[in-house]
Structure formats: structure tokens, C-alpha cells
Amino acid sequence: MSNSRNRFDKKDSLELGEKAEELFADLARKAGWQVSPSSRDQNIDEHWDFQIAKGGETFKVEVKSAKRVDRSDSGIQFDYTWVEIHGVRPKDTGWLFGKADLIAFEREAAFVFVRRLDLLKVVNKKVNLVAKVTDPRDAVYKIYRRDGRKDKLTLLPSGDLEEIKFMEWKKNL
């Protein structure tokens, strides 16, 4: 399933996401998981990319590639993680409130998995949901809305994910 580039993506955000999803699916298969991609509607409306199954366990997984803090940054980074609280469409609650069981965040050498509901607890505990910022670099534990868009995002230090890590897949399986 391929995504389409939005008008704000002036660099390679689409390609970064697709590359992370392909790598995730390859790693899952190598680790013995059955991998079923979501439909376009499931991806958009329910916010999950793959259903994986192995040994009686089944999870819906949303895969998040490593990202820049600011769109103008030259490259991706691994110190902070964007979390989407509200999506770009008016009634889109964002992937934090989607139907994924797990969120798989791309890191330099691995995918770090967290339970979506554990991540929601971290956001509720640490993020000041009424503090609004206009510069993405100020979005740590605050709400950032991209200019001209309906989304609401917050930036978490990657250490917050380590505290709630469910599992990890090394990239060099």
C-alpha cells in the first residue's frame, strides 16, 4: 500500500516512512511473524500499518520512522520522538488514539515497540496539553500545530519510550 505525498512534504518524509515500513515488514518476516498490511482505509482511519501474528499473539502495529525535529533540519535524529495527538483531518483523532496495539518507533539500530495505551499514559502524565508552541523545537511536552494544519503534535525525549518499551527488534537480524 503506498501513501501519497502531502503538500507540506518538501523533502523525503514520505520516503522515510515507506522505507521504515518496508524494513519493519522484512524484519517481522525474518523473525517468524506473519505480516498482513492494513488496507488504505485502515491505515488512514484506524492508524495501523501491519497486523503481525506469531505463536498465538496478534498485534496491530503502527510503524513510525525516525524524523527531523523541524522540517528545515538537514537530517533525521533519534533523541526525540513526535507523537500525533490529533491528525490533519478535522475528525482525525491522530495515531495516539488509533486502533494499533503497538507503536514501533525506528531507532538507529532497532525498532522499539511500546504499547499505544502505555504511550497515552506517558503523554497524559508529562505533556502540558494547554501549552501551545509555534516552533517545533519548543514542542517537548507541549502542543505544536503546524501552520495551516489541524494536527496537534508533541515531542517526547526518546528516553520516555525506553521506560515503557514492550519489545525491540534489532535492525541487523
Q: 38-74 pLDDT, tens per residue? A: 999 999 899 999 999 999 999 999 999 999 998 788 8
For residue 24, the surrounding DSSP H or E stretch is helix 13-30
DSSP state, residue 109: S
Tell me whether residue 48 is in a domain: yes
Task: Count the domains in the chain.
Answer: 1
Does residue 5 form part of some domain? no
Flag whether 127 is in a domain. yes
6 found inside a domain: no
Which residues touch 15 (CB under 8 Å, ≥6 apart)?
A: none
Cα atoms in the Cβ-side hemisphere of radius 13 Å centred on 108: 6
Whether 66 is covered by a domain: the verdict is yes
Asked whether residue 135 is assigned to any structural domain, the reply reads yes
Its pTM stands at: 0.89
pLDDT, tens digit, for every residue of 140-165?
Answer: 999 999 888 888 999 999 999 999 99
**Is residue 1 assigned to a domain?**
no
Task: State which residues form the domain around 86.
Answer: 13-170
Q: Which stretches of the chain are assigned E, i.e. beta strand?
A: 34-37, 50-54, 57-64, 80-86, 102-106, 110-115, 132-133, 143-144, 152-157, 165-170
42 belongs to a structural domain: yes
CATH label of the domain that carries residue 83: 3.40.1350.10
